[in-house]
C-alpha cells in the first residue's frame, strides 16, 4: 500500500515538530501556544465530508469559515502586540484544514 502525500507530510511534520517551533521558543525554553476553543471541534465534525483519497475534509459555510479565520487572526495579532508569537496547536487531522483557513485570511 502507498501512503498519501498528506500522510507522508504529517509523519515528517511530527518528526520535525521540535525543530519547526524552535524559532518560537522563549529564553526560558517555553513555547507560546494558541489553542482553539474545543467547541470548534464540534463545528468541524458537523461539516466534515469525505475528501480525496478517503481522507476527511471540512466544508464550512462562508460565514463560519470567516468567523474562524478572523478570530484566529485577531488572537494572533493580540499576542504579537504583547511580544508573543504563538504556535497554533491542533490535532493532526485538522492541521491542514486550519492552514488553509489561515492562508486564505492572510
**Could you report the per-residue pLDDT of 7-60, keeping only the tens digit for each?**
777 777 777 767 777 777 888 988 899 999 999 999 999 999 987 666 778 999
33-35 vs 56-58, strand pairing mode: unpaired
Range of the domain at 74: 5-104
Whether the per-residue pLDDT at 68 is higher than 90: the answer is yes
**CATH code assigned at 69:** 3.40.50
- Which three cell numbers mark 104? 486564505
pLDDT score of 76: 92
Radius of gyration (Cα) for the chain, nearest Å? 15
For the beta carbon of residue 89, count every other beta carbon within 10 angstroms.
Answer: 12
Total domain count, the chain: 1
pLDDT score of 22: 76
Amino acid at each position: 500500500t502507498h501512503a498519501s502525500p498528506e500522510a507522508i507530510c504529517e509523519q515528517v511534520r511530527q518528526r520535525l515538530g521540535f525543530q519547526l517551533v524552535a524559532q518560537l521558543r522563549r529564553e526560558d525554553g517555553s513555547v507560546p501556544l494558541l489553542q482553539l476553543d474545543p467547541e470548534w471541534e464540534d463545528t468541524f465534525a458537523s461539516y466534515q465530508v469525505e475528501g480525496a483519497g478517503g481522507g476527511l475534509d471540512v466544508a464550512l459555510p462562508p460565514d463560519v469559515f470567516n468567523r474562524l479565520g478572523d478570530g484566529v487572526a485577531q488572537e494572533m495579532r493580540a499576542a504579537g502586540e504583547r511580544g508573543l508569537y504563538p504556535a497554533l496547536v491542533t490535532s493532526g487531522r485538522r492541521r491542514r484544514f486550519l492552514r488553509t483557513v489561515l492562508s486564505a485570511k492572510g
